[in-house]
Structure 1
Amino acid sequence: MRNKFKNIQSVLFMTYSLIIIVVFTVLVLWFYHWSSNLLRANATSYIVNMGKSLQEQTDSEIQKMNNVSLNVIYSGLIKDQFKKYLSDQGGVKVQESSEMPVPSTSREYAKELADILTAAIGPSRPVEQLYLYDLTGKVYGNGFDNSESAYVPGEKPWYKPVVALDGGKYIQGPILDKSISKYISIKDPQYTISMFRLFLDTYNSPMGIVEVKQYYNLILKSIINYTQRSTYQERILVYDQSGSIIFPLNAAATQYEYEMNLSKQFQAKGEGHSFYVDPLTSEKALLSFQHSDYTGWNTVIIVTEDKLFIPLNSFTQKIVLLAIFLLLFAILLSFVAAKKITQPILKIHRTIRSIRPDNLGSGRSPSMELNSGLNELDQLHWSFLRMSERLKESMETSLLAQSQEMQAKLVALQSQMNPHFLYNTLATIHVMAEENMNQQIIAMTENMSDFLRYFSSDQSSVNLQTELSHTDKYLEINSIRHGRKLQYSFDVDEEMFDLKIPKLIVQPLVENALKFATQFEPPWDIRITGQLQGNSWSVTVSDNGPGFSADSLQRLHSRIAEMDKNHNIPALQLDGMGLLNIYIRLKLTYGDGAQFSIHNLSTGGAAVTIGGSI
């Protein structure tokens, strides 16, 4: 017997389709590989360049502070005036160019010094506060705080490092600055970053220390603004050479200990990036490192791979949809081309249409020559005429077999899971995710995964223990969703666990019971019981819901009685016949040994019992 797929149209269609699929798949995979690598490189480059940009903007703000400190320490006028201010004890000094005494007070020196320092800061105010410290314990402020006060050098944590740097800059911060906070109207506490330099006189001898301050949120405004509008929900870390975290504010070093250790590999080069697996979340992430020689600060940008490649995922979806559309279109064209080549087959079709059931095998069927010029078609036509002679006697058997086959296939579809169950489960997971109910999410997704895997398997029959196990998972999913409103119990004889039964024969009953039980006020009670009786088994599913209406019971019993009387199986439906289809599956499996009964309970609710022979 020749293979029915080896006709001209099928061969041409499959050949054309195979060529199109292979060529198209290769092109799509190549294009996707090229474009995805490009998108990955662009996304990674964007993060790296953004790290450089943020570091440069931060360095620029520090540079402004540094310029002010340099203006102060290299200003001879400031040095002279500060020296007069500190050495003045309130007496009378005589000008060299005049014999008349001119009174000189600390207030006058302070005013002149304030004017000079204000000019040094400039109108754009790149710093908000400036302090001049002498080395004996006095400090003079200019800015919000214009007071003179005392300090203890040894108690200042920055004092020794500044003196040791011998004129080099020393950056401290951020710190909660109460001295500035009290001069402004903003209620929020203000953090500042300070830069210190040793202040030398004209003979290069230390005479004091210059401190310039700027608000923390102004120096790091580029980083703060970027985190608020970040594309990939990046985390940004800024820390100094000692490992103290500058951004985020008040972050614990232990929180970023792994990332800081990972960044050490880039210290020598001053920049770099790599992918790593976060030990806390097990997520793959990109780490971009930038070191500033100017400030000594390290800027690290951390972004998870899922967030980084969101554009790639969107692009992938579009490519897949476009590829499917183009592939289907190409296959359609191949089908049209193959069909056009095989037009002679239409003649065979006319012959087939002219045959009626009453002339099958009677010799009255058409016997004209096809003369298609193609051996395959001529032989197909001859085989059909020969087949018609034997078709009559086997038609009833074939139709019955086909009917049973179609019914069996459609019966398998009757156990479709209600899509509302899936929607409600996903909605519940969404709500639990917002509440950080991680353990419940894990339990629900594991049960859901197992249930869907069982639901979609090719097995037609399973043992009762497997069916009850997945029914329990279904109830557990609903229990997580409804909480204490749902109560259920299993009381099944363990000797029944190894019995082979049709798959998804118990769970739909539980689903049906839960559907109607939830129409009443909770708690909802679902009970599954099973027992052996001689050579038969039975399982009962009961609930405390509203029960079946009288009309529903009458219709269902009438349909069952009709099937039993006529010994026929009606056409199955995918919706609206759940219980009846379960009865049909039991009948097909156990024949007269099938058990199926439904009734309302005297205490309220309904019960459905199924079973079969062993």
Structure 2
Amino acid sequence: MSANKRKRRIFQRMLLIFSLTSLFTVGLLLFFISKYYTNIKVDAVLQETKAVSESQLVAVDRKEAALVAMTQEIYKNSDLMNDVQIAMTHDYADYIRQNIDNYYARQGFYSVDLQSFLRSYFTYDEDVIAVQLVSGDKEFTYTFPTNYGKWQPFFEKYGEKKLLQSISRKENVFRLGESLVFKQVINDPSTLQPLGTVLMYTDPGFLGDLIPNNKSASTFAVLNREKATLYSNHTLPDIKSENMENGYRHGSSYIQTTEEQASGVFGQVVIPESQIGGIPVLQWTLFGVGVGLVLISIAVNFFISRRYSNRIQVIIDGMDQMEKGELRAKLPVDEREDELTLISQSFNKMGDSLNDYIKQVYTLEIEEQKAQLKALQGQVEPHFLYNSLEAIRMHARLEGAKVTSNMIYHLSTLLRYTADNIEMVTLADEVNYVRQYLQFMELRYQQEVPFFLEVEEPLLEHPFLKFTLQPLVENFFKYARHEEKRTSLTFSAKRVGGVLEVRMRDDGLGITEDKMREIQSDLADEKSEQGRIGLVNIHRRIQLYFGEQYGLAITSIEGQGTEVTLRVPYTSQGRKNYVENAFSR
């Protein structure tokens, strides 16, 4: 991918991320601002509609209070109360007859007349259509219309029977047809038992007169405790009781509920969103402001990202020059001390250091080549030594010194194995080296040492660390060999899980307990310098190659013999791969 393409992709990603972040932030901010100012506007309109709804409830309370005041007037006037008792216990003819008898019995003008009282009491209130007095057993009914024009159609529509049935309603205020009815019970002053009921029929238009023209689109409703609608200027939508709370949004409208009054009625207002003026204007204004802020933010992000992208491109160009071999390439250092400036400074320092390093490596390679030439020249000397030893051996053999000839042969073989600069060999190579060393030592001490090999054929090809078995044989000749009798050596190897265990066992003198404690201490002490070509050396070499979990262990019983165990990781790889993996670890 070219530098320009990389630049464009990074630039586009940065611009996209910044733009989305700005859009999200501004959108979220404007959303909350819109909600905040909308709520303020809604609360203001709700307060205005609440005042209208409360005025309607107050008007209903006043109507009921007027009916209560009328019944109290009846209680206060004993003659009027007596007239009511007669009316509630007699039909209209008996009631008239009783009134005439009372008139003559008093021998004077009878001033208390129930009919005149009920007809005249609400003449001042144009909203009252009629006043009706119904006995407690609903046998006798007296109706006194104050507005015949409105009462006559109402009476013809419902009739007396249906009107009487309405008295059984539980609420003191209820709706019957197009009328709003108020109910008040009259009790017998002597028995306190219900004597009858006074019904006041009113025209609910007085509630509509309280609604201002600018609020006419809202729905104002008055309901009683049974949630029956007493008045509504528009059809009231079906609203669940749990949603009848102030500010609840019902579709595109807001709901407001006014607290219940003493008369047992409460108000409910449904305000359409169109009545809350200014909200669309506010929303469009905020939308325009949001779009402008987002565009400004994107523009600012564009110029900032482009400026940094250009600086990054300069760094990339410098890297490309370095990649092509222009090690003297330098990046301009900006006066702004930011991260990109630090990168440029570090790049320039890296170029200088790389030049110095290349010079050093080049010098070292020349010196190494010189050393290799000297090493090749030095290889002549070992060949001269081997040829000389071979000439001496053949001369000794011609003179009949067979033992001397064999010793020279074994020594030459050992030197060749030693001179081979290889760290890892096969187990078979190491065993053959031990055999040669053992035969050499037998000729030296003029004593045969039986050697037993207990190894399966495949394990002989297992990779093994060079010069790990010969020091064990050397220790055997130094400390374990009996001079008076033959002492044998047994070499074995086996696989135990992922570990190869190689054992060297003898039946020699053994090791004392004090000496064993000293050897164990040396093996456990990483800083021990004793036995550098002996047991400790072998143990350290194995651990350095393969890890701390591997190494050497020794057991011995004085007078019975010694056993040394070497533990290395088992592998099925070849020697070359095994050596590479060992060094990589």
The TM-score bracket by the shorter chain reads 0.3 to 0.5
TM-score, length basis structure 2: 0.38
Query: Bigger radius of gyration, 1 or 2?
Result: 2
**Structure 1 length normalisation: TM-score?**
0.36
